[in-house]
Structure 1
Amino acid sequence: MGKPLITNVYSKEESNVIAFGVILGRRAAESVNAIREASWFIEVFDIASKRNLLERARVYDIGDIKLTSYDDLENVTKTTSSILSEGKLPLMLGGGHLATYHVLKAMPKDVILLVFDAHCDLRESYMDEKIVELDYINESAMVDKRLNDATWLRWASEEKMFKKAAVIGVRSGDEEQLAYAKKSGILLITSEKLLSRNGLNAAARILSNLTRGRKVYLSLDMDVFDPSIAPAVDHPEPLGISFREFTKLIKSIKGKIIGCDVVCLRKIPDNEVTEFLAARAILEILSHAT
């Protein structure tokens, strides 16, 4: 790890947010550190709201969880449990979205799960070259077609890791995934709906009602944003949301955010816009979580 996320001002004891990386994916280490590096160049004062976005967040970065096998993902759950037991908020940087499944294992089962993602991630099983890249550990660790980036939310649902869930900004999925979402009560808020007239306000009301008085876990897959503003992602999809829409939806959350992650950034040469967007999104999340 080079620079820690955002700041080195606070000790672990003084902090109320503990950040850590999960090195899952062929270019995860480079991508996670790109977010950390960018975070040092983001202005924490928000002109629109005239406030310091880190006014209440005291962040300490404990570094990365490095994996040699898929069994090592248990360390993600253990680390998250330890952070929660200290009364602090875990902030995970990825890496593949599969890591979120292992963070959720440590969360209370009555948590409301909000996933900002272009994809449903509700397949029963799946494998292709992209999944191998996303969940790569090393040449000897074989990706499981039953539990990976394309299926993690399905299995989290099957294992009742949350009370209710919504996938926001979704625009890629097949008939079987849509049918499963309907059957299991997972709310899909499409980017088309968000971008329609009055769609953003309607979605904000839904999230307000869904989260009011509840514990919330928030997962941000960077591919939820339009590729024009977030090109450096593992699986870009057209017609994504803007940062304006993201911030309005974050502000609509009425529950208590008890954990969060930012995943699926894939660093590309000579373009830093996506990691700067990721770092700015983290500030927005933390301003409403602490």
Structure 2
Amino acid sequence: MGAGISLLGIPHDGNSSYLRGAAEAPALIRRELHSDAYSSWSETGLDLTGRFIDHGDIDFKQPGDPWQRIESEVGRAMDGGHPLISLGGDHAISWPVLRAVRRRHPGLTILHIDAHPDIYHAYDNNPRSHTSPFARIMEERLADRLIQVGLRTVNGHHRDQFRRFGVEVVEAARFREGLRLDLTTPVYISMDLDGLDPAFAPGVSHREPGGLSTRQVINLIQSIDQPIVAADIVEYNPSQDLSNLTALVAAKLLKEIAGMMLKTALG
């Protein structure tokens, strides 16, 4: 088959602070990804048919720490040497995913697209909260740089955390067409679907108006000029969706991230 893209479902929303439901997302995103209603080609000009190596969903019914299971299963999925796209689940899963990714990539920049910084030291006394993964990620030095794009809920604590960790921020109000990032290492994309305006992705637990369009996000992904070695797509909540619109958007973003991964792999 040659170059491929690994997929792994991480159906976990036990650290969501408001609504549960994101654990149901992976199967619904896959359904849209493989639907005959849509093209299998990405905008990079590459056909994704037969390119996905699907490792299924992590089983969280087994006893043990779910974070250890995520880290272990992500490592297993990456052992074949293919780039990985993880399907959450809430945003808390990014922390253990990045533990496994970082071991394979000593140079790494995170591009985090989101309405929220998700960098609280802890939320409701939960250091694993879906509002806190990037505090843990940066504490553990799981990336060299963290670039956050699309933010529109920034408060004083967040700004303190930005200074503490040297976060590079492009708030939604300052986003400009044609934004190009100065990237010098491989890239991990963390795609929170509420980074999009709710008009484009209503199926999220924390809708925040004033966000990016689907086209703007795709253009940003397509501007990346370093290898995309892994990604996650998180915070799709099917209980809040309209006509599967957000699942379709998630599948579209998955295809465009995969297309960029393959473009690098195929030279």
Q: What TM-score results when the alignment is normalised by the length of structure 2?
A: 0.86
Partner SS for 1:200: coil
Runs (4+) off by over 6 Å: none
The one-letter amino acid of 1:146's match is P
Assess if the C-alpha contact under 8 Å between 2:83 and 2:230 holds in 1: yes
Over the matched positions of the two proteins, sequence identity in percent amounts to 25
- Residues 52 and 266 (structure 1), Cα distance of their counterparts in 2 relative to 1, 3 Å cut: same
Alignment match of 1:150 (pick from 131, 134, 144)? 131
CA distance in 2, matches of 1:229, 1:270: 10
The one-letter amino acid of 1:288's match is M
The one-letter amino acid of 1:43's match is S
Q: Is residue 193 from structure 1 mapped to residue 174 from structure 2 by the alignment? A: yes
Partner SS for 1:66: coil
Which residue in 1 is equivalent to 2:232?
A: 261
CA distance in 1, matches of 2:44, 2:53: 25
CA distance in 2, matches of 1:146, 1:58: 37
Aligned-pair CA distance for 1:33: 1.2
Q: Is residue 274 from structure 1 mapped to residue 246 from structure 2 by the alignment? A: yes
Alignment match of 2:206 (pick from 198, 217, 235)? 235
Aligned residues, how many?
249
CA distance in 2, matches of 1:270, 1:188: 30
The one-letter amino acid of 1:24's match is H
CA distance in 2, matches of 1:226, 1:200: 16
CA distance in 2, matches of 1:112, 1:271: 35
Q: Is residue 35 from structure 1 mapped to residue 35 from structure 2 by the alignment? A: no
CA distance in 1, matches of 2:149, 2:133: 16
Q: Is residue 62 from structure 1 mapped to residue 34 from structure 2 by the alignment? A: no
Which residue in 1 is equivalent to 2:17?
A: none
Q: What TM-score results when the alignment is normalised by the length of structure 1?
A: 0.80
Which residue in 2 is equivalent to 1:140?
A: none
Which residue in 2 is equivalent to 1:71?
A: 65
The RMSD of aligned alpha carbons is 2.0
Which residue in 2 is equivalent to 1:115?
A: 112
The one-letter amino acid of 1:285's match is I
Q: Is residue 161 from structure 1 mapped to residue 142 from structure 2 by the alignment? A: yes
| Cα deviations by residue, 1:104-142 (Å, 9 ceiling, x for unpaired) | 001234211111111001111112xxxxxxxxxxxxxxx
Aligned-pair CA distance for 1:53: 5.1
CA distance in 2, matches of 1:70, 1:155: 20
Query: Which moves more between the two structures, 214-223 or 72-81?
Result: 72-81
CA distance in 1, matches of 2:106, 2:127: 22
Map 1:169-248; keep pairs closer than 5 Å: 169-194=150-175, 199-201=176-178, 203-204=179-180, 207=181, 209=182, 211-212=183-184, 214-248=185-219
CA distance in 2, matches of 1:289, 1:50: 10
Aligned-pair CA distance for 1:29: 4.1
The one-letter amino acid of 1:186's match is V
| Cα deviations by residue, 1:7-34 (Å, 9 ceiling, x for unpaired) | xxx7xxx662111111112423432211
Aligned-pair CA distance for 1:237: 0.5
